[in-house]
């Protein structure tokens, strides 16, 4: 009789475990985990990173000025905020002219707050 009770108890425990596993699998089998850039989930998980992913394009006003402060050339170029502009991104100047300051790049900072 004892063997019969142990088998029944083992069967009940096994059935309960299988029932719980089945419920858990059915909960996750019907759902999909989707990550979308700029979605609500990424904003909740890491809001700083989500804000950093937003690209902000600004107009950069480029002025070429003579040493006597007379404007030679003025152009507007579009660039993303945080981008590094080097001499290849800037409008070309004539061969007989040169830059007063030596630079490697300029960083696009965006509009100044007033």
Q: Considering 21, 36, 51, which residue would you say is the last residue of a domain?
A: 51
Residue 65 lies in a domain: yes
Assess whether 23 and 41 both reside in one domain.
yes
Q: Considering 10, 26, 51, which residue would you say is the last residue of a domain?
A: 51
Highest mean pLDDT: which range of 10-14, 67-71, 86-90: 10-14
Which residues lie across from 73 on neighbouring strands? 64
Residue 69 lies in a domain: yes
The answer to whether 76 touches 91, Cβ cutoff 8 Å, is no
Q: How far apart are CA 104 and CA 60, in angstroms?
A: 17
The answer to whether 89 touches 108, Cβ cutoff 8 Å, is no
Residue 114 lies in a domain: no
> pLDDT averaged over the chain?
71
Stretch 21-35: mean pLDDT, rounded?
A: 66
Lowest mean pLDDT among 10-14, 50-54, 88-92, 109-113: 50-54
Residue 7 lies in a domain: yes
The CB-based long-range contact list for 104-111 (8 Å cut-off, 24+ gap) reads 107/82, 107/83, 108/58, 108/60, 108/79, 108/80, 108/81, 108/82, 108/83, 108/84, 109/81, 110/56, 110/58, 110/81, 111/58
Domain count along the chain: 2
Assess whether 45 and 24 both reside in one domain.
yes
Q: Considering 51, 66, 84, which residue would you say is the last residue of a domain?
A: 51
pLDDT class of 35 with cuts at 50, 70, 90:
very low
Residue 83 lies in a domain: yes
| Residue-range definition of the domain harbouring residue 25 | 2-51
Assess whether 7 and 25 both reside in one domain.
yes
């Amino acid at each position: 009789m004892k063997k019969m009770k142990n088998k029944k108890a083992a069967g009940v425990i096994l059935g309960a475990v299988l029932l719980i596993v089945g419920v858990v699998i059915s909960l996750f089998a019907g759902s999909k985990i989707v990550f979308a850039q700029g979605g609500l989930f990424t904003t909740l998980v890491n809001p700083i990173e989500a804000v950093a992913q937003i690209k902000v394009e600004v107009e950069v006003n480029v002025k070429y000025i003579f040493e006597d402060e007379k404007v030679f050339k003025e152009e507007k170029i579009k660039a993303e905020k945080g981008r590094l502009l080097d001499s290849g991104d800037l409008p070309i100047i004539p061969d007989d002219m040169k830059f007063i300051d030596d630079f490697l790049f300029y960083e696009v900072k965006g509009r100044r707050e007033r």
